[in-house]
Amino acid sequence: MRSLHPVGGFIEVFVDCPLEECERRDVKGLHEKARAGEIAEFSGVSALYEIPLESELTVCPLTSDLTICVGKVLVCLETRGVVPAI
């Protein structure tokens, strides 16, 4: 995706959360459906998931409150001029 955008025009945010926690929070049951073969190529279950090596920002919802994670994303977007500063 990064190569499809001009330099600086792509912002990758890595949400660093273990698969087990993602499954625990999965209110739609998508992980369960993927494990049952109902969803093909589901990252971390039936498809390889590679941790991004060059993300502009990493947030970890296990060690930071959701408000803090969202705040970090907003600051990143504000700093890059994507959204106006509040």
Any idea what the Cα angle at residue 70 is, between residues 64 and 72, rounded to 5°?
80
Query: 77 near 83, Cβ under 8 Å?
Result: yes
Q: Where do the domains of the chain lie?
A: 1-16+52-86, 18-50
pTM of the model: 0.80
Instruction: Tell me the pLDDT tens digit for each residue of 66-77.
Output: 999 999 999 999
Instruction: Tell me the pLDDT tens digit for each residue of 16-50.
Output: 999 999 999 999 999 999 999 999 999 999 999 99
Cα–Cα distance between 74 and 76 in angstroms, integer? 5
